Structure 1
Amino acid sequence: MVVVCFLLSIESNLAQSTLSPERYPIIPKPLSLIEQKGDFIFNKETKIVVKTSDEQVQKAVSFLVDLLAPSTGYKLGYAKSQAKNALIVALDPSIKSEEAYYLSITDKAITIRAKTAAGIFRGIQTLRQLMPAEIEQKQQVSSVKWSVPCAVIEDEPRFQYRGAHLDVCRHFFPPEFIKRYINLLALFKYNTFHWHLTEDQGWRIEIKKYPKLSTLGQWRKETCVGRHTSRTPVMERVYDNTPYEGFYTQEEIKDVIKYAQDRFITIIPEIEMPGHALAALAAYPDLGCTKGPYEVATRWGVFKDVFCTRDSTFIFLQDVLTEVIDLFPSKYIHIGGDECPKLRWQNCFHCQTFMKENGIKDEHALQSYFIQRIEKFINSKGRQIIGWDEILEGGLAPNATVMSWRGTEGGIAAAKQKHNVIMTPGDVCYFDYYQADPKNEPMAIGKTPTTLEKVYAYEPIPQELSADEAKYIIGAQANVWSEYMKTGSHVEYMVFPRALALAEVTWTSKEKKNYEDFIKRFKLQALRLDQMKVNYAKHILTD
């Protein structure tokens, strides 16, 4: 009966020609929304009725209580049974999707039902977006009526993986900003934060067994100014002559992980290998083919020094990954695998001998061996690997998930091999690219802007895939590389509102997407971002 009602409500919603974006400015757009007259009013008498003892549901409800208290002045109390003015929360096993939710708002009660606590939390974010933007204030606001428009909403995501990435190696961002970033992702129903923690330009995670990583490896003597990369001639490079450093202690990482868990966001850590390894080599030179000396990179680009395929290197990486796995509860561990030059391996006596002894035909196959050996170790710990699409070269590791960034070709190839794929093509999903005319923008990547409209128009499932192959596309991700982003404010400028567009791409069924309607809803959610003091790009508001 519940399923029948669900389908009927969808048919009813589809029959409606329009919904009011002014009254229901929800991003991402729900699967089904039936407008109702009237409003529910939160006041000091409002009670919360939680019809389950599930601790995770209690956590989701606590998020709402804590959100409401500062701005409204109401510390909502709990009731054991139905109250006159109540928010009712319950688990409902008849709802099949893990993050789906049912939200009913009348003038007397709000009801949220879901199969899981994650679904309850997604419903709470919808409720949050329907409340006045001042709800985001951290001090009491007396001039606002805390109303929510009545509606019946039944919703579920299109894709199971909805991610956003942040590179903290080229430029470091403190834990407080990471939490702010995660909170914004949660607001728009992202469920994954990909934390890029190691690079040529800095190692940002404390590893107890290898303390030099967070002394020598996290520090670079200076930073290039402008577009000076590894390809720029030496005489043309310009530097700021200022030491740069920063890393997260394991205690700080644990605190951020808990913060994310409280918002039902999974953090996937990335430890780069076999390339992008200069910071680790600077700390422990024996890990490289030439054994140094090395220094943490002071400019951007791709560097020829990479991890050597010695047994001691694998022992080091296994030790590092053990500490990472002990910290992060995520199913996935990202191991990079991208942009690994083969020059050092070609000229390394050890690597060449190792290849001959093990029947490895070339350096591409050696990289495949490297990734597969690491995968076996991570699998032995009960986890799985994700890698950039270069891990396809030389043969894909048996259980690997592929992030397709060099266009869609890698994702297509991996899906055809029946591997899970996360789509993140650079020309659409790289939010370090210009978003408008470069003449009027801070320095960024690319020549053709990745506009808000371009992001919104993106379709993650390539036409080249059959229906069965398309099932392996599990979602999409925004990537944020920080070469030209020195501050959290700059990150926000590059990410928002494009992250809202990708949120709708990954959550909302493609048949229900409409760019003009999205813009109307965004202009109202922009008021919420204003209350949160987010430095989002405002081009679309003035068009």
Structure 2
Amino acid sequence: MKKYHMRLLYFLLSLCIGIQVMAQTNPIIPKPVSYQSLATAGVKLDASSKIVGPAKYQAQLQYLQASLKQQTGLQLSINKQVPKSGSYLLIQEDPTQIDKAEMYLLESKGNEIKITVKDIRGLVNAIQTLLQICPLQKSSSFEVPAVAIKDYPRFEYRGMHLDVVRHMFPLEFIKKYIDYLTFHKFNTFHWHLTDDQGWRIEILSYPKLNSIGSWRNATLIGHFKDTPARYDSTRYGGFYTRKEVKEVIAYAALRGIEVIPEIDIPGHSRATITAYPEFSTKPDTTWNVATTWGMYNRQNNVLAPRPATFTFLRTIFHEISDLFPSKYIHVGGDECSKLWWKADPFSQAFMKEKGLKDEHALQTYFISQSAKYLKEKNKQVIGWHEILEGELDTSAIVMNWGGAKEGIEAGKLKHRVIMTPGKPYYFDHYQSHDPNDSLAIHGYNTMDSVYQYDPVPAALRDAKLDQYIIGGQANVWTEYMGYGTKVEYMIFPRMTALSESLWTPAEQKNLDDFRNRLKQNMQPRYDFWGAHYFKQWEQWTRDKQ
């Protein structure tokens, strides 16, 4: 009997110690700058608990209310004042404590969970942290652990891209995608809306972009390197209406997400010249919207430098600028084949007239003109790193999908740079070498390679030019992602790794610790969301190249 009591006592002590260790362990992804477990009781929340905060954050308070109900089942009411009794969530502003954009403080003890911020993004970020220390199950009451958290991002730009051209996704999935970004504390949604395979946004000024350019007659089956190539015979396409675009923008803004549209020019324009052949280097040709991928140097997809083309660009960029509140518009500028300009007498005559030494200079001319049109609307250009093939004003932000070399070159020219290298930030690449894995374009980008990548090249840091790297982004090209479930499979858990890589101070990153938090805290959340994800991430690591 004595041995039984001793074993029972040992078990209870072990259980208590285990609970205490769990309370003291930081479960948050991305890892906060500072996380302290307090030696006091946590805050008990139940149906009588209140949410209190400034009226200016009313939409975010309602978002917090809905998020807690969805996750825990508790419906907390929103009060104008702190209650005289019972527990409550208090949102407050204090500029003396908050000195960085998107920063927040979260303290939980006694009857109060106090969140201190100075902007919408800071509050939304704090809400995501709070959700991670609340139970992931329905309950009539629960205790939020006593903690003190101080947090802010390492980089000002933290983005996720989504290509809706190769494959288009329903409006509800776009919102779900934004929810994923919000939870992971990203602040930018890069919406890739035009390309060779279609035009995915309603345009009033040039309606044939939608009636013709938004639809292709077939789509490639299998990999684009397969021979012989096979195609289905299904007409595919569509576009987001202006009403839907505004709905997405508003949905994102409430969550502190900036939506940056991409209108890809002067290459990747096959859908445009199909709708309006007069903008092409062969205006008498009848084109078709692309049905395959990888058009560079294979099929004509460039705009010709005609007066009507520049009128088109000015009109389009003005219409896009009026629709999107973002101060940035992405103009593409990548993979612009020079073959068609070289073979076009009109393009060559234009280059001679303008004193452009080669086709690279002509590409820069297109980007410079587009930047001028956008400046008329107080917008700023972002472009892929090929926009630096000529001499370009440093006001343009460079989105570098190349390697460290291109990032260093842009930084030395004093352009602000967003790092989005194909290796490891292209999430359309394979996550394994399993021959039975779902079809992808090529490559091998693992979760741990995403986590361990540092967006700041050492050469820029050594040259004290690291301030020109303003952040990073993963790109999701959807040639082989026909459904939202496939997108989820390709982004998770790599997107989770990226979030911490861009948020957490570099010196605090720890891969083993991240793996533990991913397994214990994020995988259950993927399941809670009903999201598909790559489950073999522990097996397939970057050392298995």
Q: TM-score, normalised by structure 1?
A: 0.91
CA distance 1:34–1:19, shift in 2 (3 Å): farther
Match of 1:536 in 2: 533
The percentage of counterpart residues that share the same residue type is 46
Alignment of 1:478-493 (within 5 A): 478-493=474-489
| Structure 2 letter corresponding to 1:540 | W
Output the amino acid matched with 1:68: L
Query: 1:295, 1:146 → 2: CA distance?
Result: 59
Q: Could you report, residue by residue, the CA deviation over 1:182-219 in whole angstroms, capped at 9, with x for unpaired residues? A: 00110010000000000100110000111111111111
Matches within 5 A, 1:38-117: 38-50=41-53, 52-53=54-55, 55=56, 57-70=57-70, 71-83=72-84, 84-94=86-96, 95-117=98-120
Q: Distance in 1 between matches of 2:156 and 2:359?
A: 35
Q: Does the residue aligned with 1:146 lie in a helix, a strand or coil?
A: strand
Matched, 1:458 2:453: yes
| 2:239 matched residue in structure 1 | 247
Cα deviation, residue 307, structure 1: 0.6
Cα 1:103/1:73, change in 2 over 3 Å:
closer
Pairing 1:262–2:263 present: no
Give the whole-Å Cα distance in 1 for the aligned partners of 2:233 and 2:24: 51
Is the counterpart of residue 126 in structure 1 residue 129 in structure 2? Answer: yes
Aligned counterparts of 1:26 and 1:328: Cα–Cα separation in 2:
33
Label 1:21 to 1:297 Cα distance change in 2 as closer, same or farther (>3 A).
Answer: farther
Question: What is the SS of the residue equivalent to 1:299?
Answer: coil
Q: Distance in 2 between matches of 1:243 and 1:277?
A: 19
Q: Give the gaps of 5 or more residues in structure 2.
A: 1-19, 541-545
Separation in structure 2 between the aligned mates of residue 480 and residue 73 of structure 1, nearest angstrom: 35
Instruction: Name 1:297's counterpart in structure 2.
Output: 290
Correspondence for 1:522: 518
Q: Secondary structure at the match of 1:440?
A: coil
Which residue does the alignment assign to 1:444? 440
Residue equivalent to 1:356: 352
Out of 141, 147, 162, the residue aligned to residue 143 of structure 2 is 147
Structure 1: distance between partners of 2:528 and 2:24: 18
Matched residue type, 1:270: E
- Please list, as runs of the form range in 1=range in 2, the aligned pairs for 1:181-196 lying within 5 A after superposition: 181-196=177-192
After the TM superposition, which of the residue ranges 307-316 and 75-84 deviates more from structure 2? 75-84
Residue identity opposite 1:345 in structure 2: W
Q: For the residues of structure 2 that align with 1:507 and 1:341, how far apart are their CA atoms?
A: 36
Q: Is the 8 A contact 1:372 1:398 kept in 2?
A: no
Give ranges in structure 1 of 5+ residues lacking alignment.
1-17, 135-140
Q: Aligned AA for 1:239? A: Y
The correspondence of residues 465-504 of structure 1 with structure 2, limited to 5 A, is 465=460, 466=462, 468-504=464-500
Q: How many residues were matched structurally? A: 511
Q: Which residue of 1 aligns with 2:268?
A: 276
Map 1:382-393 → 2, pairs under 5 A: 382-393=378-389
| Residue 358 of structure 1: how far off its partner (Å) | 1.1
Hey, what's the Cα distance between the residues in 1 that align with 2:280 and 2:415?
A: 31
Within 2, Cα distance between the matches of 1:450 and 1:541? 13
Q: Deviations over 1:478-520 (max 9, x none)?
A: 1000000000000000001100101001000011111111111
Change over 3 Å in CA distance of 1:168–1:148 after alignment to 2:
same
Matched, 1:424 2:417: no
Distance in 2 between residues matched to 1:352 and 1:60, nearest whole Å: 55
Q: Per the alignment, in what secondary structure is the counterpart of residue 161 of structure 2?
A: strand
Q: Which amino acid aligns with 2:373?
A: F
- Aligned residue for 2:9? none
Shift of 1:407: 1.3
1:434 is paired with a residue of what secondary structure?
coil
Partner amino acid, structure 2, of 1:96:
D
Please, which of 24, 27, 31 is the counterpart of residue 25 of structure 1?
Answer: 27
How far apart are 1:398 and its partner, in Å?
3.5
Aligned amino acid, residue 265 of structure 1: I
**What's the CA shift for 1:386?**
0.5
Shift of 1:350: 1.6
Among 275, 279, 288, the alignment partner of 2:280 is 288
Q: Show CA shifts across 1:287-311 (max 9, x none).
A: 1010121100000012333111111
* One-letter code aligned to 2:32: P
Distance 2:79 2:293 in 1: 54
The aligned runs of 1:282-361 (5 Å cut-off) are: 282-291=274-283, 292-302=285-295, 303-361=299-357
Equivalent position amino acid for 2:506 in 1:
K
Match of 2:10 in 1: none
Q: CA deviation at 1:20?
A: 5.1
1:110 is paired with a residue of what secondary structure? strand
Contact 2:23–2:37 at 8 Å: present in 1 too? no
Amino acid in the other structure paired with 2:446: T
- Pairwise CA distance, 1:22: 8.3
Matched to 1:501, the amino acid is A
Task: Give the AA of the match of 2:458.
Answer: Q
Q: Distance in 2 between matches of 1:41 and 1:320?
A: 54
The Cα of 1:408 is off from its aligned counterpart by 2.1
1:351-390 residue CA offsets vs partner (Å, 9 max, x unmatched): 1111111111110111111111111111121010100000
Alpha-carbon offset, residue 397 of structure 1: 3.3
Task: Give the counterpart letter for 1:525 in structure 2.
Answer: M
Q: Distance in 2 between matches of 1:30 and 1:19?
A: 18
- What SS does the corresponding residue of 1:413 show, helix, strand or coil? helix
Aligned residue among 21, 35, 38 for 1:36: 38
Secondary structure of the corresponding residue to residue 499 of structure 1: helix
CA contact (8 A) 1:21 1:520 kept: no
Distance 1:332 1:78, change over 3 A: same
After TM superposition, give the deviation of residue 284 of structure 1 in Å. 0.8
Give distance in 1, aligned partners of 2:219 and 2:102: 43
Write out per-residue CA displacement over residues 407-459 of structure 1, whole angstroms, 9 at most, x where no aligned residue: 12222111111110000000110000001124131111224x21111111000
**Does the residue aligned with 2:454 lie in a helix, a strand or coil?**
coil
Question: Which piece of structure 1 moves more, 475-484 or 437-446?
Answer: 437-446
Greater Cα offset, 253-262 or 68-77: 68-77
C-alpha displacement of 1:79: 4.2
Structure 1 residue matching 2:146: 3-state secondary structure: strand
- The more displaced of 109-118 and 63-72 is 63-72
